[in-house]
Structure 1
Amino acid sequence: MSEQREVPEGVREDVAEMVGDWRDYYEAKLGFRNHWYPVRFSRELAEGEMLTVKVLGEPLMLRRIDGEVFAIRDRCLHRGVPLSRKPDCYTKDTITCWYHGYTYRWQTGELVNILACPDSKLIGKRGIQSFPVQEAKGLIFVFIGDMDPLPPLEQDVPPGFLDDDLMVLGKHRDVNSNWRLGCENGFDTLHIFIHKDTTLRHYRDFNFPIGHTANPGAITLVENEGGPQGVEDDFSKHHPVWEGVIDDRIVVRGPRHNKVEGTSASSGTSIWLPGVLKVDGFPGPGLTQFEWYVPIDAGRHIYLQTIGCKVETEEDRVEFANEFEAVWKPHGLDGFNGDDIWAREVTEPFYADDYGWVDEMLCEPDSSMLEWRRLASRRNRGIQTPDDLR
């Protein structure tokens, strides 16, 4: 008998009963709360500047003050208007609502004054929510939740991402699909089919099948206490498919190259809570792609793409930066991953009414995706619901 519990607003109870052991994943339309999420690159927020972003349905404002980034909810306590509509920062540390003068401290969210009513008893007793912020590898991470103490950042990024010698470059954009479709597109072992014509094949010799199926032992669950939680897929233990056949006629061939051992363009993929993919050996040898699917709301996510390279010298840094701009960004993050974005957005309507989660017809290679759904349901720290936004 399935567990009896209240279904969050906006999800269907009948579907929740049918999905079984990955119910939490199904219910997490807005993502998993009590996790760290990257929202922007550090270079995008200069000293004294402000930016707005929505994460897990939360409207946020960020500002850099004396080198440190602070985040508060973008909603005035008084009448609920967005402070960002006309940001008035009369002092370095405060923001004043343009409507009636409610004034908040950036560092804490505390209501420190009401300029139009300076004797109000509310002053010093109320505040808007503030959110913990950390910067790492050139990214601004915000913690969405209410856990105390906070989990360390290293529990919410893939292994190796925080290595001292790893240089990270990347970009971000908004995608019109739910964040879960981003995760599953990246970790889906069959979706390589849409990349069969990628221009990346011109920039390195690699084996590029049109599909592959995991052999026994390819999938590993990582559930160590105190560390990141994820599912690893070893591509060296896959059975590749090189030719597509219809009615005994070959209609599609993968651009197979025998100069590199292995079965695919990378040595393996892994997916980690709260929703970040790691692709080893991709988009080129010695590189690792890390990409986050950060929920904006139920129908959109921030696609934050990064590529990491081990560097030892300034010359290494310059060489990687040049290759990133000339090759890996246009042909990888833009070209190769452009196919992924298109696929997610055209998949979204099927899942938008929730019934896609039970109407889908998965096949054998999708077992890795199911392991991700189960692990995410077991190991998340909470589900973000509309009630959390009130």
Structure 2
Amino acid sequence: MSNVSEDILKKVKGWPGYVDAKYGFRNHWYPVMFSKDIAEGEVKKIKLLGEPLLVKRIDGKLHCIKDRCLHRGVPLSEKLDCMTKDTITCWYHAWTYKWETGELCDIMTNPSSAQIGRHKLKVYPVEEAKNCVFIFLGDGEPHPLAHDTPPEFLDDGLEILGIAREIKSNWRLGVENGFDPSHIYIHKDAILVQGNDLVLPLGFAPGEDRSKQTKVIADDSEGGRKGVYDLIGDASVPVFEGTIDGELVREGNYGSTLVANNISIWLPGVLKVNPWPNPDMMQFEWYVPVDENTHIYFQTLGKKCETEEEIKAYEHSFDHKWKKMALMGFNDDDIWAREAMVDFYADDKGWVNEILFEPDEAIVEWRKLADKHNKGIQTLENIKG
């Protein structure tokens, strides 16, 4: 069953599956928290692609199960009850499940029940990498985590630090805001621009050949990753002088720090900007679907560090400079921009009524790639199942 009306999907040209994916793409890896945020023995309640989940760390390893008792469908998280390290018991009728396998191993209210051993809660693979916790929300054996992370993210020596925030907009508005070549206009007054003396035009006037504005990676040339490179900076003219009726009303920033030379977006919805926000750093940010109205803005910065001293210095600069100036001071503009788009796309008619212009070529190519190469559209049936 479709998540969007058939009438809307018939009107959308080129990417109906993308429009239908308001809950995200199934059978992909998504970051849900940082490793430091879940201690040994701790249980975390999360929602991913509309599905309620529970995550627990047992003997250092993370396990993920669906937050729904098989008996009467109540959420186990309503009153967490882990009487043994390896199990979770439903507070309602004492159905008890193994964290590792999801197996219904005991029913304390009826120890001889024929249901014991016959049923399993859905469990999902979990991996930790670069201080981040990833969950594979899907069916069957997962593909390698590297397929759903941008190039360089998993490289040895790249230290990753970041923050995560819940944003009240659909995940696709987050992706398209981040990968939008012309949206830099909203950042013209951001503290980072002057604070780090950035070169930042108001926008870009595309060149004669718009086909050179993007590069689509749909084969295995990037190790199984699928994505789109935004090349508008190379194939266009940066606009530093903003005019209205021929009168100069605004200028871009003619700074000395050149960044954002390489921008790309990757399935299932993660942006890479290199370098950013400084020439020796790069930014990776995910737009993780929580449900149809909310996403986790999972922001990370990476920097090559060779020694413990360099790591500590990077952690200090992250905490005292980059988190406030870049991830918040700069990217807070992106948050209110996404939230400002919500009403227009809320009834799905925005996908039909929008009027795109020349710099949106990158967004168009992303929609086409995501429509064709995603590994499954999350549906209400999956969520309720």
Fold shared by both chains (TM-score > 0.5) = yes
1:117 matched to 2:110: yes
Structure 1 position 322, deviation (Å) = 1.1
1:75 matched to 2:68: yes
User: Where does the alignment leave 5 or more consecutive residues of structure 2 unmatched?
Assistant: none
Structure 1 position 205, deviation (Å) = 2.7
1:166 to 154, 158, 162: 158
| Cα contact 2:282–2:301 (8 A) shared by 1 | yes
1:205 matched to 2:203: no
1:312 aligned counterpart, secondary structure:
coil
CA distance in 2, matches of 1:18, 1:373: 15
Closer, same or farther: CA 185–14 of 1 in aligned 2, 3 Å = same
- In the superposition, the TM-score normalised over structure 2's length comes to 0.96
| Cα contact 2:82–2:89 (8 A) shared by 1 | yes
Task: Give 1:155's aligned residue.
Answer: 147
Q: Indicate the percent of aligned positions where both proteins have the same amino acid.
A: 51
One-letter code aligned to 2:55: L
Structure 1 position 238, deviation (Å) = 3.3
One-letter code aligned to 1:311: C
| Cα contact 1:38–1:294 (8 A) shared by 2 | yes
1:23-102 equivalences under 5 Å are: 23-102=16-95
CA distance in 2, matches of 1:309, 1:336: 19
1:80 aligned counterpart, secondary structure:
coil
2:133 aligned counterpart, secondary structure:
strand
| Cα contact 2:2–2:20 (8 A) shared by 1 | no
Structure 1 position 237, deviation (Å) = 3.5
1:105 to 98, 101, 123: 98
1:116 aligned counterpart, secondary structure:
coil
| Cα contact 2:257–2:279 (8 A) shared by 1 | no
Task: Give 2:321's aligned residue.
Answer: 327
Structure 1 position 260, deviation (Å) = 4.6
2:228 to 204, 228, 231: 231
1:360 matched to 2:354: yes
Structure 1 position 214, deviation (Å) = 4.5
Structure 1 position 209, deviation (Å) = 0.7
CA distance in 2, matches of 1:326, 1:93: 40
| Cα contact 2:213–2:362 (8 A) shared by 1 | no
One-letter code aligned to 1:370: V
2:45 aligned counterpart, secondary structure:
strand
1:309 aligned counterpart, secondary structure:
strand
One-letter code aligned to 2:102: G
CA distance in 2, matches of 1:255, 1:198: 11
Task: Give 1:221's aligned residue.
Answer: 216
CA distance in 1, matches of 2:257, 2:76: 55
| Cα contact 2:3–2:21 (8 A) shared by 1 | no
Task: Give 1:248's aligned residue.
Answer: 246
1:270-349 equivalences under 5 Å are: 270-349=264-343
CA distance in 1, matches of 2:201, 2:336: 21
CA distance in 1, matches of 2:280, 2:204: 23
Moved more, 77-86 or 161-170: 77-86
The superposition leaves residues 98-143 of structure 1 with CA deviations (integer Å, 9 ceiling, x where unpaired) of 1110101000111011111111100011011000111100111000
One-letter code aligned to 2:330: F
Task: Give 2:171's aligned residue.
Answer: 179
2:303 aligned counterpart, secondary structure:
strand
1:52 aligned counterpart, secondary structure:
strand
One-letter code aligned to 2:227: G
The superposition leaves residues 221-272 of structure 1 with CA deviations (integer Å, 9 ceiling, x where unpaired) of 1122351100011334432111211122112211212x356xxx41121000
- Report the RMSD for the aligned CA atoms in angstroms: 1.2
CA distance in 2, matches of 1:91, 1:147: 28
Structure 1 position 9, deviation (Å) = 3.6
CA distance in 2, matches of 1:218, 1:310: 29
| Cα contact 1:189–1:213 (8 A) shared by 2 | no
> Hey, which bits of structure 1, 4+ residues long, moved more than 4 A?
none
1:336 aligned counterpart, secondary structure:
coil
CA distance in 2, matches of 1:25, 1:9: 12
1:191 to 183, 188, 192: 183
- In the superposition, the TM-score normalised over structure 1's length comes to 0.95
2:348 aligned counterpart, secondary structure:
coil
